Chain A
């Protein structure tokens, strides 16, 4: 196996983390695409990993998890510190050596989500950091909503704007149902 570039390594790790966090299997079409990518990875096609973001974007829930994981990994790379609650052994040298092999194997399974959770021995990932970030977002959205509402309709507007923005922040952060969209490749 070739040595992965840091950006490729990050993309692959983020995608695997996203797979472990998904609470349902992938759609058949997406699974088929991933299977093909697993074959490409095994055959050491150089552009295989670059296709992962596009694959993730075909499933909104997977894409959201992928983006979150990618940002989290980026932060960890930048600060050179381990995420305190991370249960994934993504940083161990042995894991990095086998990352491409492991990903290829997971992608070629009939249920990549289940395989990722089994291979990586993860049932529930630490989401404490993510939760707090969502709370931060709700707070700042409430403040912003108050500003906009206040400009439009003074004090009542500020109160309503703040509430609406906070509720919307809560909805997109916590309450939004993860929907399975029809696969574009199907």
Chain B
């Protein structure tokens, strides 16, 4: 993954999530996000990127597939999916 595009993608995603969350909370008259919440949201977004990257690599990188073999690849995909799940769950919590 190229560094700059990845950083920009992550930054934009985080910004969109934070702004959306602020809007949703304002409409629901809930307390706005504090600094800690923003950090958790930002790192959770990054965590989702990691999970997605792992899954994509496991399916598309022939060298990795060759080294891992099918059982290792399945384990890696499960790990990536679990990471994505945890990240999405953390993000959703802020919208509840």
Contact = CB atoms under 8 A, between A and B. Distances in A.
Interface string A142-158: 01111110011000000
Q: What is the interface residue range for chain A against chain B?
A: 20 to 34
A147 B50 contact: yes
Given A71-B93, A139-B86, A165-B43, A147 B49 contact: yes
Contacts of B49: 144, 147
Interface string A119-155: 0000000000000000011011101111110011000
Main secondary structure of the interface of B (DSSP, over half): helix
A115 B43 CA distance: 39
Contacts of A168: 39
Interface residues of B, number: 28
Contact of A145 (B1, B3, B46): B46
A165 B49 CA distance: 15
A141 B43 contact: yes
A159 B82 CA distance: 21
Given A53-B31, A71-B93, A74-B96, A147 B87 contact: no
Given A147-B10, A147-B50, A151-B3, A140 B43 contact: yes
A176 B3 CA distance: 33
A95 B44 CA distance: 38
Given A144-B50, A148-B7, 19 more contacts: A53-B29, A53-B30, A57-B31, A63-B31, A71-B96, A136-B90, A137-B40, A139-B86, A140-B87, A140-B90, A143-B43, A143-B51, A144-B46, A145-B43, A147-B10, A147-B46, A147-B49, A168-B39, A172-B36
Q: Which 10 A-B pairs have the closest CB atoms?
A: A144-B43, A144-B46, A144-B47, A140-B47, A147-B46, A141-B43, A143-B47, A140-B86, A147-B50, A143-B50
Interface of A: 53, 57, 63, 67, 71, 74, 136-137, 139-141, 143-148, 151-152, 165, 168-169, 172
